[in-house]
């Protein structure tokens, strides 16, 4: 399966089959990701993921305490 990868060094997207890299994270447990070597600079690169744009909720504060402080209008 051909996947897209992002090279941080070259700042380019390229396509490659990639290799599956698995590890055990102390917080999240079993993890995996696909990696590939950049054809130009030979750097190990992660799979490219399109940025997800989420609609902001009007009930959520844009920044600040998120309901955890005493003097906040959003505190519970």
Domain boundaries, the chain: 3-47
For the stretch 12-39, pLDDT in tens is 999 999 999 999 999 999 999 999 999 9
Average pLDDT over residues 2-15: 95
Whose CA is closest to 35, among 14, 13, 5, 10? 5
Burial of residue 12 (number of CB atoms within 10 Å: 0-12, 13-18, 19+): middle
Whose CA is closest to 75, among 61, 55, 62? 61
Q: What pLDDT score does 51 carry?
A: 84
The tokens describing 51, both together, are 């940025």
> Rounded to two decimals, what is the model's pTM?
0.61
């Amino acid at each position: 399966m051909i996947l897209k990868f992002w090279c941080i060094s070259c700042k380019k997207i390229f396509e490659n089959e990639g290799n599956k890299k698995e590890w055990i994270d102390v917080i999240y447990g079993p993890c995996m990701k696909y990696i590939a070597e950049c054809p130009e600079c030979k750097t190990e690169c992660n799979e490219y993921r399109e940025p997800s744009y989420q609609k902001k909720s009007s009930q959520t504060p844009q920044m600040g305490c998120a309901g955890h402080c005493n003097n906040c209008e959003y505190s519970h």
